[in-house]
A and B are shown apart, each in its own frame.
Chain A
Amino acid sequence: MREKLVVIGNGMAGMRTVEELLKIAPEKYDITVFGAEPYGNYNRIMLSPVLTGEKTVEEIMINDLDWYKENNITLYAGEDKKAVDIDRRNQKVIAADGTEAEYDRLLLATGSNPFIIPLPGHDLDGVIAFRDIADVETMLQASKEKKHAIVIGGGLLGLEAANGLMKQGMEVTVVHNLDVLMNRQLDEPSAKLLEQSLVERGLSFKMNANTSELKADENGHVKSIAFSDGEELPADLVVMAVGIRPNIELAQKVGLHCERGIVVNDTLQTFDPKIYAIGECIQHREELFGLVAPIWDQAKVAANHLAAYGIGIYRTQATSTKLKVTGIDLFSAGDFTGDDETDDIVFQDPKRGIYKKVVLKEDKIIGSVMYGDTIDGSWYFQLMKDGTNVADFRDSLLFGQAHMGDSGHAGVNAAADLPDSAEICGCNGVCKGDIVKAITEENLYTLDEVRASTKASASCGSCTGLVEQVIASTLGGDYTPSESEKTICACTNYGHDQVRDAIKPNNLKSFHAVSDFLEFSNPDGCHVCRPAINYYLLAAWPGEYEDDMASRFTNERMHANIQKDNTYTVVPRMFGGVTTAKDLRVIADAADKYDVPMVKVTGGQRIDLVGVKKEDLIPMWKDLNDAGMVSGHAYGKALRTVKTCIGSQYCRFGTQDSTGAGIRIEEMTWGSWTPAKFKIAVSGCPRNCAEATIKDVGIVAVDSGWEIYVAGNGGIKVRVSDFLVKVATEDEVLEYTGAFMQMYREQGHHNERTAPWIERVGLQYIKDEIVENAEKRKAYYEGFLLSQKFSQKDPWKERASEGVAQNDFIPLAEV
């Protein structure tokens, strides 16, 4: 037999708990709900858009009456169904009209009551709060007939109410007792910017106000508001939005331990073990609640315990706020005032109405306030919640996440890595899994479609960036972001893909052709866009476009790595990390002959001659060339090494000849230019001695063949590679490796390693192109082999013996 669960309060917290419970233990309880409001349950936070007219009441229903029926929940809703007593001894709940329900477990979710300042006249007609549908209906009605509205309270709710009433045509004055609006979320500079833009929109403010009385007309309806400074303003409607108090009336009456709220432990249990409580009515570890995000966490924990799983404890996480006034961008999280031990990093541009402040304590973010440009709000918030040490990028922190470039920190909020249960939209409680499901089942392609279908990012919008990332990782390459793509650099308004897409159709074959065509602000570009576009041209016109050395970074021009003292390092290629005694002798001789200060073994299994003078490069290469050695491209955005383990030739665990396979792969791939450096490794068994799983392509032998992994990275931020496919033969390994490299060459952004690339386009997209689709794979592979024909030339030989670019290495003159 099922046990009985009774819920008091059919608001956001109570019903969310029921939803969570139905997910994990749908058969456990017969559920009965008492609700004092005469509806199913609705999204209270969306009352603001209902007031402005952007939404209808129907649109904000979360669960309509049918939902209760479908889930066999008995709902008693309406004024007369308000629970007025609990018989704890006999375990039953009694409603105002006498309806009774027995329980084995009881959940209190009675929310809170708006606080009404006990001013003279507070109980007049026309004086209301902003809490439920009835209040919104009163406001909408008043706006049709009346003119002057007063909103008492310049906090989040007050401003949303004022904005709504103004949108409905009323003249609205906000009365606030302090000098700073939204003082719990904003500091003074941001609050001033907010006030200014609300004034521009038509709101009036009376700041530092001390209200003394609400005056009535002859019908007992409010008519004006009087202040202690003697001023009096006309008032046909007064909305009080000065705070909330937990609704603990019933709990207190039946003797449950309450302080400011109903006191609960970490499992959301009250002092009566049969009774749980959740939402705005509770007090947990001294704290009260007024936002939905923590309540969703509570719902998960409470549901878990109601289901008798007994795991999970509730801990309050940091919360963030946005103001839901269309056109105003504001974000606030954590401790934004700081103290003696904190540093504020502030960016201010009053002319553009932008203000950003991040508060740091010991190089960790503890709070932030943003106005005007809030794109990075969720990033800062994530860094704050994760306690990330930001010392390394502190100087560029305020420029935002887009500024981070490279793979270094790209993974910080990559939605691709989140589990399906991760909540993306806190306002509407939408998880990643819901979004992915909607996208795949309903064939959605754009942010707007996803918004319309799932409500994710539909209310406060602060999660828009995350939602876009989920769409991008689900759709892979099919997704085009709605907002304009990030530009390559300050020379142009176009992003990498836009520039790249312009090259072929418009037959652009030189940097200046591109910069003219796309109207770059600097005709010669800069050190960021020149190498990028040079690369795109090279990839677009294999065999035809001539690599522009003036657009290459010095390492790629000198075919050696520049060091901090302007000397270079020389690294001969060792295919598969295998060398011979003869080669080692040649290297040793070269080191002696050119006075090389240091000989070092690199991480990629070869030998590094460090500290070579520029003039010695060519003669040294000549010596190495003559002995049959070629450049290792240790300096390039190119294939670096193919690292191998010893494998089945000698290793007692080896299942395949990893060294031999590595040599074949390196012979195929050496000399290839890629958007950023590219590393491969091959291990002979799953012990993985070649560390293949942090390489751009990693190959791990197993008894029956080879497993191919892609997009690993061992740099600033380690990323373990993703499993792509398992194949039987070495030939297939070559085909997949070539196809993957070609796809990356054609589609990766310049300077973007495979790790951030795959996070941008999604693993599934790569699989669709080269695992599921054999024809495409073959085409990519052939494309790869074709361009290798033109690029497998040893740059050392060209310079040492064929006279290419020798001028680069010698002075123009000596005087």
Chain B
Amino acid sequence: MSKTIEIGKLTDIPKLGSRVVKTQQGNIAIFRTMEDEVFALHDSCPHKQGALSQGIVHGKSVTCPLHNWVIGLDDGEAKGHDTGCTKTFEAHQEGGMVYLVLDEV
């Protein structure tokens, strides 16, 4: 079973920025793009666990702050020559509120 949780206002996340949601499954980074799309990724880089929420967001990607891997927001995949994948979560916004879908554990 999964459940949809309201986690906050869209405007609480900066454009081209990220905020963290603490969960029992670990920290989840919620990203907001220039076009106000939202994405959710496990806040841990597939390379050496850098906090992706601290990275620079551009297009539908985020650059990890530790060693500059570029991770796709939609699929969690490392881009370019790097290989690795971060777990993605379903997130969306509606009426200015942001929702995260989590599996029940």
Complex Cα spacing A20 to B93, Å: 79
Evaluate whether A527 and B20 lie within 8 angstroms (CB atoms) in the complex, with A553-B56, A813-B7, A815-B102 already known: no
The answer to whether the Cβ of B96 comes within 8 Å of any Cβ in the partner chain is no
Evaluate whether A562 and B7 lie within 8 angstroms (CB atoms) in the complex, with A525-B58, A814-B21 already known: no
Evaluate whether A550 and B21 lie within 8 angstroms (CB atoms) in the complex, with A524-B58, A812-B12, A815-B5 already known: no
Complex Cα spacing A92 to B66, Å: 76
Q: Which residue in B7, B15, B22, B66 is a CB contact (below 8 Å) of A564? A: B66
User: Chain B 64-75, CB within 8 Å of chain A: the 1/0 string?
Assistant: 011010100000
Contact indicator B54/A527 (Cβ below 8 Å): no
Quick one: which of A787-815 are within 8 Å of B by CB? 807, 811-815
Q: Which residue in A524, A531, A550, A558 is a CB contact (below 8 Å) of B14? A: A550
Complex Cα spacing A525 to B22, Å: 29
Evaluate whether A812 and B30 lie within 8 angstroms (CB atoms) in the complex, with A550-B17, A562-B65, A562-B66 already known: yes
Complex Cα spacing A553 to B68, Å: 11
The answer to whether the Cβ of B86 comes within 8 Å of any Cβ in the partner chain is no
Evaluate whether A522 and B59 lie within 8 angstroms (CB atoms) in the complex, with A566-B49, A814-B22 already known: yes
The answer to whether the Cβ of B57 comes within 8 Å of any Cβ in the partner chain is yes
B34: chain A residues within 8 A (beta carbon):
512, 523-524
Contact indicator A562/B13 (Cβ below 8 Å): no
A552: chain B residues within 8 A (beta carbon):
56
The answer to whether the Cβ of A554 comes within 8 Å of any Cβ in the partner chain is yes
Quick one: which of B8-67 are within 8 Å of A by CB? 8, 12-17, 19-23, 27, 30, 33-34, 48-51, 54-59, 61, 63, 65-66
The answer to whether the Cβ of A530 comes within 8 Å of any Cβ in the partner chain is yes
Complex Cα spacing A813 to B24, Å: 12
Contact indicator A566/B56 (Cβ below 8 Å): no
Evaluate whether A811 and B21 lie within 8 angstroms (CB atoms) in the complex, with A524-B16, A526-B63 already known: yes
The answer to whether the Cβ of A551 comes within 8 Å of any Cβ in the partner chain is yes
A526: chain B residues within 8 A (beta carbon):
56, 58, 61, 63, 70
Whole-angstrom distance from the CB of A728 to the nearest CB of chain B? 46
Q: Which residue in A524, A566, A814 is a CB contact (below 8 Å) of B59? A: A524
User: Chain A 565-582, CB within 8 Å of chain B: the 1/0 string?
Assistant: 010000000000000000
Contact indicator B58/A811 (Cβ below 8 Å): no
Complex Cα spacing A553 to B64, Å: 10
Complex Cα spacing A531 to B55, Å: 12
Quick one: which of A564-612 are within 8 Å of B by CB? 564, 566
Complex Cα spacing A341 to B3, Å: 61
B55: chain A residues within 8 A (beta carbon):
527, 554
The answer to whether the Cβ of A412 comes within 8 Å of any Cβ in the partner chain is no
Whole-angstrom distance from the CB of A286 to the nearest CB of chain B? 46
B70: chain A residues within 8 A (beta carbon):
526-527
The answer to whether the Cβ of A549 comes within 8 Å of any Cβ in the partner chain is yes
User: Chain A 526-539, CB within 8 Å of chain B: the 1/0 string?
Assistant: 11001100000000
Q: Which residue in A530, A566, A815 is a CB contact (below 8 Å) of B7? A: A815
Q: Which residue in A524, A531, A554, A813 is a CB contact (below 8 Å) of B8? A: A813
B63: chain A residues within 8 A (beta carbon):
526-527
- Residue from A522, A555, A566 whose CB has the most chain B CB atoms within 10 Å: A566
Contact indicator B59/A523 (Cβ below 8 Å): yes
Complex Cα spacing A550 to B23, Å: 24
Contact indicator A811/B49 (Cβ below 8 Å): no
Contact indicator A566/B22 (Cβ below 8 Å): no
Whole-angstrom distance from the CB of A568 to the nearest CB of chain B? 10
Contact indicator B58/A807 (Cβ below 8 Å): no
A562: chain B residues within 8 A (beta carbon):
51, 54, 65-66
Whole-angstrom distance from the CB of A49 to the nearest CB of chain B? 43
Complex Cα spacing A523 to B61, Å: 12
Whole-angstrom distance from the CB of B89 to the nearest CB of chain A? 11
B58: chain A residues within 8 A (beta carbon):
522, 524-527, 530
A524: chain B residues within 8 A (beta carbon):
16, 33-34, 57-59
Contact indicator A812/B51 (Cβ below 8 Å): no
Contact indicator A550/B56 (Cβ below 8 Å): yes
Contact indicator A812/B17 (Cβ below 8 Å): no
Nearest A residue (CB) for B58 = A524
Nearest A residue (CB) for B50 = A566
Q: Which residue in B12, B54, B100 is a CB contact (below 8 Å) of A554? A: B54
B15: chain A residues within 8 A (beta carbon):
550
Nearest A residue (CB) for B19 = A812
Evaluate whether A811 and B20 lie within 8 angstroms (CB atoms) in the complex, with A522-B58, A562-B65 already known: yes
Nearest A residue (CB) for B102 = A815
B33: chain A residues within 8 A (beta carbon):
524
B residues sitting closer than 8 Å to A (CB atoms) are 5, 7-8, 12-17, 19-23, 27, 30, 33-34, 48-51, 54-59, 61, 63, 65-66, 68, 70, 100, 102
Beyond contacts A526-B63, A812-B20: 19 other A-B pairs, Cβ-Cβ < 8 A, are A524-B33, A526-B56, A527-B70, A530-B58, A550-B17, A553-B56, A555-B65, A557-B54, A564-B66, A566-B50, A566-B51, A811-B27, A812-B8, A812-B21, A812-B30, A813-B8, A814-B21, A814-B22, A815-B7
6 pairs from A and B in contact (CB 8 Å cutoff)? A524-B16, A524-B57, A811-B27, A812-B12, A812-B21, A814-B22
Top 5 closest A-B pairs, CB basis? Answer: A527-B63, A812-B19, A554-B54, A524-B58, A550-B16
